[in-house]
Amino acid sequence: MKNFLVIGNPISHSLSPKLHNYWIKVHNINAIYEKRKLVESDLKNLIAEVKLNKIVGINITVPFKKSIVPLVDELSESANKTQSVNTIYKKNEKIIGDNTDIGGFEKALKHVGYNVSNKKVFILGAGGVSASIIYSLEKMGVKNISLSNRTKEKALELKKMFPSINIVNWGDHIDFDMIINATSLGLNKTDRIELNFNDNYKNKLFYDIIYNPSKTKFLTTAETKGSDIENGKLMFIYQAQLAFEIWHGVKPKIDTETIKFLND
Ligand code: ATR
């Protein structure tokens, strides 16, 4: 029996075990995928478990995507460019840190038929997932990216990695075609993002990386005002599909049945 794991803190909201165990069953694989809540000082021992084959693969979620970076032996090109790891596996006795958030975001946008070339994108947040989104958008040929974060220093750190992004003060207005909430605001039902868009909602796409709850206040407000909205569910499913393929060598199907199964 092969053991797989998602780690994070908090971790109870994660749907990764449900999705991976569903695909494991569909493909008749002798494996189990579990979740584990831990603290940063546990990460070293966790990697040791992979070295000893006690764990075959790990998904990393908030807030460890960065702190795991120095603990792996090698980074994939995308993990290196973003300094963010969400998938771990062992290859030739080396622990590899990879990033499937980038591909997951790209595939999610393709799935809904949204083309970012010639689009102005405004990202809110400079946490773990923002670098992956920027990298993905640049790869897809976005027109330009502006980014705003409550703590400006963290936005400026991202600008060092991606010099072409434009940093906007938290609370300032800019014009955009697509806005992405990459902050953790919205995870709690009462959270609201204190930004006033001046009724600038028409012909815009409001995208929230959060998928649980499925409609944050950010999305419900935008929907009421006439914007298109999308949550992070598809990005989540596609990053999982890419990780599954890395670990098991098969690409699980993503169809309406899979998406419905996750919603139930
Ligand atoms: P980490 O920063 O550890 O990677 P994260 O959950 O990936 O954690 O990122 C949290 C993001 O949500 C950050 O951009 C954070 O802004 P700060 O850098 O200023 O902390 C943002 N965030 C969280 N709570 C917020 C709030 N109440 N108002 C505005 N932004 C908030």
Q: pLDDT tens-digit profile of 90-134?
A: 999 999 999 999 999 999 999 999 999 999 999 999 988 999 999
Q: pLDDT tens-digit profile of 212-259?
A: 889 999 999 999 999 999 999 999 999 999 999 999 999 999 999 898
pLDDT of residue 189: 81
Do residues 183 and 216 share a domain?
A: yes
Active-site hit among 65, 81, 119, 233? 65
Residue 143 annotated to the active site: no
Please choose, from the candidates 89, 101, 90, 15, the residue with its C-alpha nearest in 3D space to the C-alpha of residue 58: 89
Indicate whether residue 186 lines ligand 1 (CB < 6 A): no
User: What single DSSP character describes residue 85?
Assistant: -
Element (H, E) at 26: helix 16-26
Q: Is residue 197 scored above 80 in pLDDT? A: no
Indicate whether residue 104 lines ligand 1 (CB < 6 A): no
Dist. CA 30–CA 7, nearest whole Å: 21
pLDDT of residue 264: 76
Do residues 253 and 221 share a domain?
A: no
**For ligand 1, atom 26, which residue shows the shortest CA distance?**
185
**Count of C-beta atoms within a 10 Å radius of residue 97:** 26
Indicate whether residue 126 lines ligand 1 (CB < 6 A): yes
Indicate whether residue 103 lines ligand 1 (CB < 6 A): no
Do residues 182 and 240 share a domain?
A: no
**For ligand 1, atom 28, which residue shows the shortest CA distance?**
150
Tokens 């670990």 found at: 247
Residue 68 and residue 85 in contact, taking contact as beta carbons nearer than 8 Å: yes
**For ligand 1, atom 8, which residue shows the shortest CA distance?**
127
Indicate whether residue 154 lines ligand 1 (CB < 6 A): yes
Do residues 181 and 201 share a domain?
A: yes
pLDDT of residue 194: 78
Least confident of 78-87, 186-195, 246-255: 186-195
Do residues 69 and 106 share a domain?
A: no
Do residues 153 and 181 share a domain?
A: yes
Q: pLDDT tens-digit profile of 27-46?
A: 999 999 999 999 999 999 99
Centroid of ligand 1 to alpha carbon of 253 (angstroms): 33
Query: Into how many domains does the chain fold?
Result: 2
Centroid of ligand 1 to alpha carbon of 128 (angstroms): 9
Helix ranges (H only) for 68-129 are 77-82, 101-111
Mean of all residue pLDDT scores within the chain: 95
Q: Which CATH number do you get for residue 69?
A: 3.40.50.10860
Residues spanned by the domain of 219:
102-231
pLDDT of residue 8: 95
Mutation test of ligand 1: which of 150, 172, 195 has the most ligand atoms closer than 8 Å to its C-beta?
150
Residue 116 and residue 141 in contact, taking contact as beta carbons nearer than 8 Å: yes
Do residues 133 and 252 share a domain?
A: no
pLDDT of residue 195: 78
Centroid of ligand 1 to alpha carbon of 183 (angstroms): 5
Structure tokens, 164: 């072409």
Residue 58 and residue 31 in contact, taking contact as beta carbons nearer than 8 Å: no
Dist. CA 249–CA 228, nearest whole Å: 36
Residue 40 and residue 53 in contact, taking contact as beta carbons nearer than 8 Å: no
